[in-house]
Chain A
């Protein structure tokens, strides 16, 4: 059995990027739709 303390921890950056993209993409869609609606206050 390998000793965990002798190994460097795996690089988590790809996982962090994926996780933030997972939640960021739908949120960006929601914000885009929101901006579209909000502009009607000034144009409609």
Chain B
């Protein structure tokens, strides 16, 4: 096996999930570099990066919840309306009922939980398909928003706006950079190294092949390089700006939910339900509870996203959150989730969301109108999922692998049983 094949196997779509995530990040980096080139360096400028994060953090938060909903085999069309509904109630609670903003945030989350319980009840306990329940929710809560707000815009107080438009404060000595952002970046770099070391140790404990050391080092070096670069960019923005608070909320949620979906029994159950709900049930998984949880969780995150958006735009309006559900769903599918459920990762969805965000942003920087941006985004979504479907019909999951296929001479090390006994695409004889 050549060195190149080693790299291909271990870096892109290899055996460990760490490697697969890295492959997705690679795709994102490629798109960023493309636009960096096309826009003459505008894409990676500090102010643009900051704006990019602020404008998309709420979509990415939705993508986290949506990933879990889609993995469980459902869909949620109501998130935009729920975000708007929670947003207007929270805005009202602060301006008209004088609720202090921290309490208002809790109030908003409680609204999300209540709506989620409502939708989860129909999906999990009555068995109405989530598509229908959330289509109804989309109408109900959009109407609810306009009914409560009288179709008007309600402003929110200064303190509340921090979660949408705030930044990490300036502390410590004057280094010319935002110190907290630098520290955050350093922590992220250390975390990446720690994870790689942990992953190798785990593989060793399993007596499994951890892959060549140089691949690990290369992977770490690239990750650390990217993180350091991004941290420096965020830290060196216009005075008063730095890493946005909404970005911190997002990062915290990504870490929390990635851990939950990967490393806990509850997370595993979501994948089991999406993969084969009857088999999961017969393995002792409490189907209704899982379905209820993913639907409810989604609404809580939608309420949070709504609040962040309201905080960023300083007011809650009747058109907030229009079309968000579609952006979130697109992010999840571009990130590699399967339409039928059971497959997908949080990090993949985030990368999928970022791909869409960078695309959007880069095209706008180039002066491409929203009409054409939409066309391009639509095509990207279609192609990404088509590639995934095609790969699966070919029985392989590695995107890069299929691109390289025509150049490969030797046969891959497929186990003898896999090709011969692989379930063929169910070809019906009757035609």
Do A and B come from the same complex?
no
Instruction: Report A's interface with B, CB cutoff 8 A.
Output: none
Instruction: Report B's interface with A, CB cutoff 8 A.
Output: none
